[in-house]
Structure formats: C-alpha cells, structure tokens
C-alpha cells in the first residue's frame, strides 16, 4: 500500500506573470519540476488569482496587463 501524500507545488504571482510572458526561467523551472516530481500538482492559491485579476485590470503597462 502506498501511503505517500500527493506532492503539491504552490505558485506565486510572479510565476503567473512570467508564464504569461513565456519567460525562459519559468518554463525551465516547470519542466524541471515535472521531470523530477512526476504526478505532482501545481496549485495557484486564491490570493494569487486575485492579484493576477487585479493586475489584468489595473496593471501599470500593457505588458503587465
């Protein structure tokens, strides 16, 4: 019987912003995590979703929005 807990990786707002821009560091980091932690889940907490929603509406520049 496998009693190990599922592995969950939490992302902060910067991960979402950089992922939207397809920045190399975040793509490489996610690829490394997926390769090393097979079957893990990426969690985006509600606060991060709120922050990204706010920035989409009120961000300082077009790139941030």
Q: Give Cβ neighbours of residue 9 (< 8 Å, ≥ 6 apart).
A: 33, 37, 40, 41, 42, 43
Q: pLDDT value at position 3? A: 60
CA distance 24 to 1: 39
* pLDDT over 80 at 5, yes or no: no
**51 within some domain:** yes
**63 within some domain:** no
Q: pLDDT value at position 2? A: 59
Q: Give Cβ neighbours of residue 16 (< 8 Å, ≥ 6 apart).
A: 44, 48, 52
Tens digit of pLDDT for each residue in 16-62?
889 888 889 999 999 999 899 888 888 999 999 999 999 999 988 88
Q: pLDDT value at position 29? A: 92
**2 within some domain:** no
Q: Give me the residue label for tokens 């490394």.
A: 32
* Token pair belonging to 42: 């990426």
* pLDDT over 80 at 4, yes or no: no
Integer angstrom CA distances of residue 26 from 3, 13, 19, 57: 31, 12, 6, 23
Q: pLDDT value at position 48? A: 94
**3 within some domain:** no
């Amino acid at each position: 019987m496998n009693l190990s807990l599922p592995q969950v990786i939490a992302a902060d707002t910067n991960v979402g912003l950089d992922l939207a821009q397809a920045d190399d560091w975040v793509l490489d980091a996610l690829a490394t995590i997926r390769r090393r932690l097979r079957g893990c889940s990426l969690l985006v907490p509600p606060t991060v979703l709120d922050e990204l929603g706010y920035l989409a509406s009120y961000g300082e520049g077009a790139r941030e929005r």
